[in-house]
Amino acid sequence: MLILHCPYCGIDAEETELHAGGEAHLTRFGPGSSDDDFEGYLFMRENPRGVHFERWRHANGCGKWFHAARCTNTLEVFGTYSAQTTEPPEEIRKILAKKRPGWTWRDLK
């Protein structure tokens, strides 16, 4: 059972209270953007073996969206963090540097 800590209501919510929201930190391209950018935004997703960043919603709870850093290989949860950010915060990066030295994800490392 996947358990994620909701950074908004402080509850360690289990999977059935949550709703998965796909990949995190996407840059949205809308009207006026190039076809390549729009296609990338719509269809191109990471499929890493290892460190991954996801969006989750505490649907049966406080209703807030948040981010989670997880490992697709071991299902380890590195941590969760606020949705009001465009990249993983420093404390998550520190944990990753310790637990998965040399990790990469998109252009992050």
Q: Which of 55, 64, 65, 77 binds another protein (CB under 8 A)?
A: 64
CB of 47 to another protein, least distance (A): 30
Residues 12 to 41 in contact with another protein, rule: CB under 8 A? 13-14, 16-17
Nearer to another protein, 16 or 104 (CB): 16
10 sits near another protein (criterion: CB under 8 A)? yes
Contact 23, 51 (CB under 8 A): no
Q: How far apart are CA 98 and CA 2, in angstroms?
A: 22
Quote the tokens at residue 32: 């006026």
Q: Which of 2, 62, 83, 95 binds another protein (CB under 8 A)?
A: 62
Cβ within 8 Å of residue 20, ≥6 positions away: 54, 55, 56
Q: Of 5, 11, 2, which Cα lies nearest the Cα of 91?
A: 5
Binding site for another protein (CB under 8 A): 8-11, 13-14, 16-17, 59-64
